[in-house]
Structure formats: structure tokens, C-alpha cells
């Protein structure tokens, strides 16, 4: 299996080069520092997930530069070069806005995306180490519904071959005190384990 992690917000070109997504003053010093920004915290779950998957013999890619449309094109190209393998594309984010849940989203047009996102949703819900998450939700995203921002993170994957599916990860809320443990290396590793479990279960399905 091939798994593609996209560290979104980070690496955009031009005037968006400084975008790091949501930011929260986690240490209470009155400033939002680099280490307290979304795109600089997603590696806490991306990196251990990549390591686990590599150790298990899967092929892993990291995308972290270019517009999202360009990254989607890269992912689709990888899938076309490996038509005999299943390919999971994961748009990696962290939420903000005070919610109490994890949410995994998929392009409403994609049955493969729904299956991938659903498997990750179930794995997060079943992981006792992630009990700080009140709920693990699965949501369909489209250009016209309330999840349109998430739709934009994966929409180009639908143009690829049948062996690639995409999901957008919003696994916790930066500004939710109950989720603060997930901003630590230990919490990131626990989250990574659940994400990997969900992806592997999806990949094993016929």
C-alpha cells in the first residue's frame, strides 16, 4: 500500500508562504509562537505515522509544498504510476473553534474516500488512548455544504484513478483544553497509531 501525507497550510507559494493555519497560545504567555501553529503541530502525528507505516513495509510519501491543486496532481501521478496498489491520500490538519470531537472528511463524490475516512473515524473512536476526544465524526464534504473548506483539501484526488482515495484529517481542536495532550509528542504518537490502524484496515479490504 502507498500512503501520501500532505502537510497542508505549510509550503504554499507567494503571498501565502507564511500560512500555518490555526494558532493558539498553548503556553499562556500571550503570544502565538511557531510551535503553537497548526502546520507546525501536524508533524507530531504525521511523522510517527510515517515511521510505523514504513516499518510495516508500506511506501510513504510526504507532500509539503505547492498549492493544494498541485499536490493533488502529484498524488494522482503517484497513483497512476502504481495502479496495482491502493493509495491513501491524507490531507493533514488540526481544528480550532472549541469543538469536542475528531472529524474525518471525504469528497462527497468519492465512495473510496468515504470508506477510507470511515475506517479512520472508526479507529480513532475505538482507541482507548484517545478518550480525551469526545466524539469521532465522519462527514461528507462538497463545494456547497458546511464542510466546503475540507472539500478543497481533497477535491483533486477524485480526478485520479480508482486506486487512490482521499480523506481530510481534523483529529482534534487546538483550543480545546481537553485535547491539549494531543499537542505533545506522546499524544501525537497515540493519534498516529489510530490513523495508521484505520488506513491499514481500509487497505486490507477487497
The C-alpha atoms of residue 204 and residue 206 are separated, in whole angstroms, by 6
pLDDT score at 185? 97
How confident is the model at residue 39, as a pLDDT? 96
Task: Please tell me the distance from the alpha carbon of residue 164 to that of residue 123, in angstroms, as a whole number.
Answer: 20
| Domains of the chain with bracketed CATH | 2-204 (3.40.630.40)
pLDDT of residue 35: 86
- Residue 27: the pLDDT is 86
Ramachandran angles phi, psi of 42, nearest 5° = -60, -30
- Burial profile 33-54: b = 16 or more Cβ within 10 angstroms, e = fewer: eeebbbbbbbbbbbbbbbebbe
The answer, as to whether pTM is greater than 0.95, is: yes
**Which positions of the chain have pLDDT values less than 70?**
206
pLDDT of 33 reads: 87
Amino acid at each position: 500500500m502507498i500512503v501520501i501525507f500532505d502537510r497542508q497550510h505549510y509550503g504554499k507559494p507567494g503571498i501565502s508562504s507564511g500560512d500555518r493555519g490555526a494558532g493558539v497560545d498553548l503556553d499562556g504567555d500571550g503570544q502565538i509562537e511557531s510551535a503553537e501553529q497548526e502546520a507546525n503541530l501536524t508533524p507530531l502525528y504525521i511523522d510517527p505515522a510515517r515511521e510505523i507505516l514504513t516499518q510495516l513495509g508500506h511506501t510513504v510519501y510526504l507532500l509539503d509544498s505547492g498549492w493544494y491543486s498541485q499536490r493533488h496532481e502529484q498524488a494522482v501521478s503517484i497513483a497512476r504510476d502504481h495502479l496495482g496498489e491502493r493509495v491513501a491520500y491524507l490531507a493533514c490538519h488540526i481544528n480550532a473553534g472549541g469543538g469536542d470531537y475528531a472529524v474525518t472528511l471525504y469528497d462527497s463524490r468519492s465512495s473510496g474516500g468515504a470508506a477510507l475516512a470511515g475506517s479512520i473515524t472508526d479507529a480513532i473512536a475505538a482507541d482507548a488512548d484517545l478518550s480525551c476526544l469526545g466524539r469521532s465524526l465522519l462527514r461528507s464534504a462538497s463545494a456547497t455544504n458546511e464542510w466546503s473548506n475540507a472539500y478543497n483539501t481533497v477535491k483533486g484526488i477524485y480526478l485520479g484513478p480508482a486506486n487512490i482515495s482521499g480523506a481530510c484529517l481534523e483529529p482534534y481542536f487546538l483550543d480545546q483544553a481537553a485535547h491539549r495532550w494531543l499537542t505533545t509528542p506522546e499524544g501525537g504518537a497515540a493519534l498516529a497509531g489510530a490513523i495508521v490502524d484505520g488506513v491499514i484496515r481500509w487497505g486490507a479490504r477487497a
